[in-house]
Structure 1
Amino acid sequence: MSSDINSVELSVIVPVYNEELNIDYLFERLLSVLETLDTSYEIVCVNDGSKDNTLKCLIEHHHRNPVIKVVNLSRNFGKEVALSAGLDYATGAAVVPIDADLQDPPELIKELVEKWREGYDVVYATRRSRGEESWLKQMTANAFYKIIGKMSRVPIPRNTGDFRLLDRRVVEAIKQMPERTRFMKGLFAWVGFKQTSVLFDRPQRYKGTTTWNYWRLWNFAIDGITSFSFLPLKVWSYVGVTISLLSFLYATFLIYRTLLYGVDLPGYASIMVAILFLGGIQLVTLGIIGEYLSRVYEEVKGRPLYLVRDAYGFKNNGEEGIGNRD
């Protein structure tokens, strides 16, 4: 990492995974915007174990332009961890995470910086429209934000990704959070500070295909909910009390009916329905407890959040386990 944090005013973090097709055009647009800001800047690219020629392209751009710096992780750790690595290595007074697929328009950075200079600590980019996403993707995204908005004590802005500007004070606060299951949108909201938003229309991906399928999005949503809400754990106490109360009332009704009309032949169907229903409730409860327990297990192992194989463009070897630097 750079030894002098104040030497750079603006850091742009770009987590990349198999983005070979987008790299050239990304830097073309990104540099054209940054050069108009009349400020010192750096671009910190975090290669998250790409399997194509992404790393090679990044290194070539670094040698052509030293403001482009590269952190090469030892394997694929996931976007949230790659973004965290970028925050660790970024040295600017303000930091802007941005996606490499150009669905986050680099031209919006100028507006983010203007809001920052007005005194805001966090300026997040909110999607006014979501491009040409399918109705299912839009429906599930809206449902997720509604659910987590109801369940979490931390207000998480809707239709807002990682694209935002963070003041150095906010970055340092986020770096104090060591959790392994990282829902960055929630962490950005949790730290507070003075925040505002900027609206934009989200374009389509420039080239390539996204790796975010519905299964990954489902697990991402679970990570977000379990990281910022205990409600899934607490609700089962109330479900249990409700079922117990209903069972008591039903038992009272059966006793009363038996005293009045005698004993009926027990119904096989009703017994099976009750057993299957209660069994299903118990399995769902155990599953939710398992989700939280697995995250506790991940935390207590205490493994590093990420490992760096090599890095390019940084002066000091400031992290344990980092490989070659030039």
Structure 2
Amino acid sequence: MSDRPEISVVIPCFNEEENVRAIHAAVAAELVLHAASHEIIFIDNGSTDATRALLAALCAEDPAVRVILNNRNYGQMRSPTHGIYQAAGRAVIAMCCDFQDPPALIGEMIRQWRAGAQIVLGQRRSEPAPWLHRMVRDAGYGFLARHGDYPVLRDVTGFGLFDREVVDMLATWREPEPFFRGMLVESGYRIALLPFDRPARQAGESKNNVRTLLAFALSGLAGSAKSLLRLPLILSVYAGLLTALLAIATIVCLLVGASALFLGLATLQIGLFAVLLLFLGLMGDQVRLIAERTRNVPLVIEEQRINFPADRQRPVR
């Protein structure tokens, strides 16, 4: 690609009129210091405030700024990942627009990448959050650690740097609901962690609430714990073993002349439950296989691109 910069920074945003100019200034200042060449890509997820007008103005002021405008809100998994795949840099940095991912870490991420790291992820040492939020998050991490398909990196949000090879590889997976931080671990590339203390939001209000956080967590669980679809098969084995034991107990009761009505009914019910679980498990495993084979849904539909070179006006699929 003729205009490939050394570093691309991708910043997803939604109703961030109070932050876009400030984050641009902070990120651009770091890139001038640490990158040989750069671009800054904002991908807007259907903002309804002045964010889009401010982004258009930034494009007019800074030729290194590029903007993707989605035609609606595609959520916190699909839009940022699409932006990463549209970046042209030899390394791509993804970060939030609200300063909770500190721009001051950009230089260290680039230094570690130049030293050979293919993935550098920021890892929070701490985060100001209500106790209930922390409790739910801890429970979620614990569940994924026990049932996930690969190790879970605790307190990693996706803020990080990814080598071109990593980005190009993950783009071929065609994930319709990409749990990107999980995909990074699943890919098997070596990951360097960069601990930091996550600050509070600089301006504006968080767009997360219980519903959005729950939706994000469930999507992440579905994407990183597909083996759970086999859980009914495992339960059917245990239910089948229990059915066999109850059947033996029923036969023994009949032989000694004791009442076996209750045991017989329990055996029948649990046996039917085991058969039901078996078929549910088989169906779930087929759904898992279908999901693995049909990753062909576009992550977002773009409404407009601003300031992209002529050879990058069309989305990379």
- Aligned with residue 67 of structure 2, among 65, 70, 89: 70
When normalised by structure 1's length, the TM-score is: 0.84
Deviation of the 1:113 alpha carbon: 1.1
In structure 1, the residue matched to 2:137 is 141
2: distance between equivalents of 1:114 and 1:150? 34
1: distance between equivalents of 2:301 and 2:195? 35
In structure 2, the residue matched to 1:209 is 205
Deviation of the 1:321 alpha carbon: 7.7
Deviation of the 1:195 alpha carbon: 2.2
Deviation of the 1:88 alpha carbon: 2.7
Change in CA separation of 1:154 and 1:319 when aligned onto 2, cut-off 3 Å: farther
2: distance between equivalents of 1:164 and 1:151? 25
2: distance between equivalents of 1:281 and 1:106? 56
What's the secondary structure of 1:35's corresponding residue?
helix
Change in CA separation of 1:17 and 1:296 when aligned onto 2, cut-off 3 Å: farther
1: distance between equivalents of 2:20 and 2:30? 15
1:151-200 CA-partner distances (Å, limit 9, x unpaired): 33433321101100111111211222212121111112222333211100
Matched, 1:316 2:310: yes
1: distance between equivalents of 2:35 and 2:205? 35
1:273-296 CA-partner distances (Å, limit 9, x unpaired): x9699879969x959967984994
1:197-242 CA-partner distances (Å, limit 9, x unpaired): 1100111122222232233333323322332333212222221121
2: distance between equivalents of 1:75 and 1:153? 32
What's the secondary structure of 2:98's corresponding residue?
coil
- How do 1:46-195 residues align onto structure 2 when only pairs under 5 Å count? 46-130=43-127, 132-195=128-191
Contact 1:18 1:51 in 2 (8 A): yes
- How do 1:34-53 residues align onto structure 2 when only pairs under 5 Å count? 34-37=31-34, 39-53=36-50
Deviation of the 1:129 alpha carbon: 0.7
Matched, 1:260 2:256: yes
Q: How many residues in Structure 1 have an aligned counterpart in Structure 2?
A: 316
Moved more, 141-150 or 50-59: 141-150
Contact 1:180 1:298 in 2 (8 A): no
In structure 1, the residue matched to 2:227 is 231
Change in CA separation of 1:289 and 1:13 when aligned onto 2, cut-off 3 Å: farther
Change in CA separation of 1:38 and 1:252 when aligned onto 2, cut-off 3 Å: closer
2: distance between equivalents of 1:76 and 1:235? 33
1: distance between equivalents of 2:65 and 2:235? 54
1:55-81 CA-partner distances (Å, limit 9, x unpaired): 111111111212111111121112222
Contact 1:71 1:311 in 2 (8 A): yes
Deviation of the 1:120 alpha carbon: 0.8
When normalised by structure 2's length, the TM-score is: 0.86
Letter in 1 for 2:236: G
Change in CA separation of 1:277 and 1:143 when aligned onto 2, cut-off 3 Å: farther
In structure 2, the residue matched to 1:25 is 22
Matched, 1:305 2:303: no
What 5-or-longer segments of structure 2 have no aligned partner? none
Deviation of the 1:25 alpha carbon: 2.2
2: distance between equivalents of 1:264 and 1:190? 52
Deviation of the 1:149 alpha carbon: 2.8
- Aligned with residue 250 of structure 1, among 246, 251, 255: 246
1:232-275 CA-partner distances (Å, limit 9, x unpaired): 122222211211221221232233234434437759xx979x96
What's the secondary structure of 1:36's corresponding residue?
helix
Q: Name the Cα RMSD after superposition.
A: 3.3
Letter in 1 for 2:27: L
What 5-or-longer segments of structure 1 have no aligned partner? none
What's the secondary structure of 1:69's corresponding residue?
strand
